[in-house]
Amino acid sequence: MKIAKNSVVSMHYKVATAEGEHIDASAPDSPLVFLAGTGNVILGLDKALIGKQAGDKVDAVIPPAEAYGDHDPELDLVVSKGAFPKDAHQQLAPGFRFRADHPKQEGAVTMFTVHKIDGDEVFVSGNHELAGKTLSFQVEIVSVRAATHEELSHGHVHGEGGHHH
């Protein structure tokens, strides 16, 4: 069967930046299992897999707009420590993540990550760490099946490689 919207796809993958820097890969004994065409994976990958079937190897180069978006310099901010609640000061360190108002979209909240602390200045970014990157995927499709009604109503896969609940 060929991959279509709502197919349950099991696949092995490797992903790197366009420059060849390794990002992530499936473990040899545990392929990624997901609901195709529903945003479980990035848009460009969802699109590249439509029509493929078990055994197919797919190489896909995906631009930022169909991956994690463009890098937005206005989401890279320097804020003073005093802007954080007192009880958060101890946790303030590179890698600390928190939710805050989006600087440009009124009413929207976005995730920020602390990158650096210099005295009273905290350098934070609301960009995804892969924003602005072109991604290169190497995929091998293991299996394709139709989703059950329950999986479709939950929006994710159940069973092996999926949700257990």
Sign of the CA dihedral running 117, 121, 122, 124: negative
**Which one of 18, 154, 157, 160 is in contact with Zn ion (CB under 5 A)?**
154
What is the nearest approach in angstroms of Zn ion to the Cβ of residue 39?
A: 16
User: Which residue lies nearer to Zn ion by CB, 86 or 164?
Assistant: 164
Q: Is 38 in the site for Zn ion (CB under 5 A)?
A: no
User: Which residue lies nearer to Zn ion by CB, 90 or 153?
Assistant: 153
What is the nearest approach in angstroms of Zn ion to the Cβ of residue 158?
A: 6
User: Which residue lies nearer to Zn ion by CB, 99 or 163?
Assistant: 163
User: Which residue lies nearer to Zn ion by CB, 36 or 75?
Assistant: 36
Residue 160's contacts (CB-CB under 8 Å, 6 or more residues apart) are 33
Q: Which residues bind Zn ion (CB under 5 A)?
A: 154, 163
